[in-house]
Amino acid sequence: MSPPDPGGLRAGDVLTRRYMLLERIAWGGMSVIWRAFDQSLQRMVAVKLLDGELGVDRGERELIRREARATARLIHPDAIEVYDYGEAVTAQGRLAAYVVMRLLDGRPLSDRIAEGPLPWAEAALIAARLATVLAVAHERGIVHRDVTAENVLLTSTGAKLLDFGIAAFIGEDDDDRASDYGTPPYVAPERLTGTVADPASDVYALGVLLFEMLTGAPPYPERTWEEIENVHREGPPPVAEVPGMPARIGALCQSCLLERPEARPRAQEVADGLRLALAPPRPAARERLLRWAVVATAVALLAGVTIWTQLSGPHTGQVAGPRAHGTAPPTVLDSAGPTPVASARPTLSLPPSPRRELRDPPERGGQAAEETPWTEAIRSSVPSLSQSVRRFNAVLARGENEGRIRPDVALDLRQVLANSVCCSRDLAPIRGKIADRHREGTLPDDFRHALEAQLVFVSVALAG
């Protein structure tokens, strides 16, 4: 397939005295994507270019402008980043609208699927990353509307979602756009009836894509608009059956393909479910009990140190407070019991606590009890992964509401945590980001400590 007529634009041409076009790397419809050089910032970029005759506009320029605005609102490491948008008259007397984006190297997911089904774990991981991007887009009010294998790029750092060219805002009229701009196998049934833009249509397309990755073919054979409009489906959607694959993944994929939009899961629920299915098996009951006990002990010690620090004065072992006239001199508590010390400041002495002998837990039938009321209480008090992430984000929301954390700082931290949990399962990046934000003065001390405390629970949840 040859590229569309670029209106005489050639390699070496410069847009707006800044972007030097080097080579065409992709094309489709009326647009061409060029590898280009940004002469102002001295970096390589991708330029999506659409040009036409002056005074003629069939709506394509509005689409590319909307793409730039929608993508610019979406901040996520697995979505393409937009740098600039503009319109210019070329040397050939044509009007060019262009979007400047980050240049990514990789291969389309469609090329990989053409080679055969992906291993189920790889397919689930790609779908989980895409579901996370879509969840963020939906939170920002954006519906992608063209989630396809062609619009997913496999790079060295993971799968990236591209091309928000027909994106719309939630609730926006979706009349006559599906047959004009959508891709038939991925279009949700409700889009054929002219509904408003709904995140559920992205979830349907994600289900088609996951099914295709797992089996090598889409769930339904229809590939043209005529076939799709004439088909009458009955019964539940098909299930992707892959040997050794957890049943949860197949069930999630099938739920995304449900005909009624309200019956489909949200994108974030798909991401969470896939991550849970990919998680390693939980340890044995005894090892799990030991882990909870260690966590509970650490939390208890941390709470004790915090309370002691708040109550203590500057001298170790002393608690600030008035001392009644004639009382005994202040004491320091150590392993040998109370010892009198001299102090020039009034203090309040604390009586020594009675010593307690530590004993092993009671045994039943020669074996240590697996379940006791206190172990159940410890287990129930530790939040799940999704709860821990929500509590982390709630701390950021409180900081935003109080005007103590800027919205861009909060969004940055949310995204870094989401990426750490979803993809790498390594919390070092978010810990480093918190430290950086604190160092630059955009994250107050108390909120830094609160966020780091929530990360303890996230780490425990990730550990299983």
Q: Is 315 within 8 Å of 343 (Cβ atoms)? A: yes
CA atoms of 64 and 400, how far apart (whole Å): 33
- SS3 string, 359-427, reads CCCCEECCEECCCCHHHHHHHHHCCCHHHHHHHHHHHHHHHHHCCCCCHHHHHHHHHHHHHHHHHHCCC
What does the alpha-carbon distance between residue 245 and residue 400 come to, in Å, rounded to a whole number? 42
CA distance 200 to 265: 8
Stated as kind and residue range, the H or E segment containing 152 is strand 152-155
Report the distance separating Cα 337 and Cα 351, nearest Å: 9
CA angle (435 as vertex; 429, 437 as ends), nearest 5? 100
Could you confirm whether 146 is annotated as catalytic? yes
Question: CA–CA separation, 319 vs 347, rounded Å?
Answer: 6
The catalytic position among 13, 51, 78, 146 is 146
Residue 445, classified by CB atoms within 10 Å of its CB into exposed (0-12), middle (13-18) or buried (19+), is: exposed
Among candidate residues 150, 91, 158, the one with its CA nearest the CA of residue 130: 158
Name which of 47, 59, 58 is nearest 88 in CA terms: 47
Query: Which one, of 85, 222, 249, 101, lies nearest residue 161 by Cα?
Result: 101
Q: How far is CA 373 from the centre of its chain?
A: 36
d(CA 443, CA 452): 12
Contact at 8 Å (CB) between 61 and 97? yes
Catalytic positions are 146
